[in-house]
């Protein structure tokens, strides 16, 4: 029997371990979040508006074009780096994280994968430099049933006329480009759904009501109104009827990033709880010395790490070209639970002050709730997981 010292070693580190380059990237984003975003988080939350100067800095830092190729002015990075950026930003402000998330893992990703050469040339350069994008799928009658779309697209010469309303569209207030899903052939059901690249200035298009939300308030969520909005046929993404496939595949990837947002949020809440427990004294010593508090923090830390590994694993699998639908659903489902639970427990560690706006954990608690709702509710993730494991 071989000696313990002769045990076979892995030829490469586990995929969930960060490379030195990834660690440097993560550290850069964390530093930006703490130094530049952190001082403005409370004011932006109260105003319900993300500062334009910070948005500009995110473009300057390359955070809005992580996977866009260098030939278009992007960073030429990968999906995993986008996930790391979302996590690092969410530790400080989940609103900033979701802005970067939708831009990279949804909008940019769709155009990179499905756009033709002309569309990439026209839009990726702008998206890497200064243009925010939105993903417009949801409607009043289509939430979890995302393809019960009422928005219609009618052919008119070399244009299409889009008519309908979209609701709960992230980044809508700041966006200059909208990926709008409409049915160009209602008789074909979901096979008529088509994705259109709609610019803010197109005739018949307007951004409507901005939602007044519980959490992630600095991230805009708005209604979109289209009344015979004229969209050139050249702005069809992919082809007529491919919208269903585009949306499904994109949302599968986007769920990993939402999981990352919730991991970052949970890490931020845990950090505040640990810091406060070390400083707060009761009965002549820090509350961190009490076993009850120690056990609470230990459980929170374990949950956060478990969620992080699920998210990282799903992201690595996506980049490796492996099937990842089940892993993405698991990551999103579990991380959203951990985000909400960890934020709630952090409020309890801080006790009375945790319930006030003088400390950041109450905001993280409000921000966490959306994680179990958008880009697929927790029940939809459980259905996906069950379907996959029972096949």
Q: Which residues participate in catalysis according to the annotation?
A: 375
d(CA 66, CA 249): 19
Contact 121, 71 (CB under 8 A): no
Of the candidates 235, 242, 245, which has an alpha carbon nearest to the alpha carbon of residue 197? 235
CA distances from 331 to 26, 145, 259, 326 (A): 20, 21, 6, 9
- What is the Cα Rg of the chain in Å? 22
Would you state the structure tokens that stand for residue 3, as one six-digit string?
A: 């000696």
Q: Which residues pair with 225 in a beta bridge?
A: 165, 206
Other CB atoms closer than 10 Å to residue 282's CB: what's the count? 11
Q: What is the DSSP letter of 65?
A: -
| Phi, psi (degrees; rounded to nearest 5) at 386 | -60, -45
Q: Where are the alpha helices (DSSP H) in the chain?
A: 20-32, 41-47, 52-60, 79-90, 94-101, 109-114, 117-129, 243-279, 291-319, 325-350, 361-368, 378-390
3-state secondary structure of 132: strand
Pairing of strands 236-237, 193-199: antiparallel
3-state secondary structure of 68: coil
d(CA 162, CA 167): 15
Plot region of 51 (φ>0 → left; ψ -120 to 50 → alpha; else → beta): beta
């Amino acid at each position: 029997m071989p000696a313990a010292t002769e045990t076979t070693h892995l030829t490469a580190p586990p995929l969930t371990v960060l490379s030195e380059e990834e660690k440097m990237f993560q550290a850069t984003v964390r530093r930006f979040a703490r130094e530049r975003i952190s001082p403005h988080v409370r004011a932006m939350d109260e105003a319900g508006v993300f500062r334009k100067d910070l948005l500009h800095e995110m473009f300057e830092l390359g955070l809005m074009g992580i996977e866009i190729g260098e030939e278009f002015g992007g960073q030429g990075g990968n999906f995993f780096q986008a996930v790391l950026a979302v996590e690092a930003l969410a530790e400080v402000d989940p609103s900033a994280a979701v802005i970067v998330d939708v831009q990279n893992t949804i909008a940019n990703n769709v155009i990179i994968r499905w756009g033709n050469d002309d569309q990439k040339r026209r839009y990726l350069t702008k998206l890497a430099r200064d243009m925010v994008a939105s993903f417009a799928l949801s409607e009043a009658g289509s939430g979890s049933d995302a393809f019960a779309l009422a928005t219609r697209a009618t052919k008119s010469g070399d244009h299409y006329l889009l008519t309908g309303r979209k609701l709960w569209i992230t980044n809508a207030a700041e966006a200059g480009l909208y990926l709008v899903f409409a049915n160009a052939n209602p008789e074909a059901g979901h096979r008529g759904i088509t994705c259109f690249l709609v610019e803010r200035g197109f005739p018949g298009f307007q951004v409507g009501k901005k939602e007044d939300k519980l959490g992630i308030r600095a991230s805009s969520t708005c209604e979109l109104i289209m009344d015979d909005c004229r969209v050139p046929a050249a702005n069809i993404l992919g082809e007529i009827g491919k919208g269903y496939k585009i949306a499904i595949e994109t949302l599968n990837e986007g769920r990993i990033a939402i999981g990352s947002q919730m991991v970052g949020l949970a890490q931020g809440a845990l950090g505040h709880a640990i810091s406060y427990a070390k400083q707060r004294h009761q009965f002549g010593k820090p509350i961190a010395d009490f076993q009850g508090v120690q056990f609470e923090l230990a459980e929170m830390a374990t949950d956060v790490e478990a969620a992080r590994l699920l998210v990282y694993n799903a992201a690595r699998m996506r980049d490796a070209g492996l099937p990842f639908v089940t892993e993405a659903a698991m990551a999103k489902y579990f991380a959203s639970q951990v985000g909400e639970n960890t934020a709630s427990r952090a409020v309890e560690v801080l006790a009375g002050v945790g319930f006030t706006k003088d400390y950041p954990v109450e905001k993280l608690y409000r921000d966490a709730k959306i994680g179990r709702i958008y880009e697929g509710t927790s029940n939809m993730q459980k259905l996906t997981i069950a379907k996959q494991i029972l096949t």
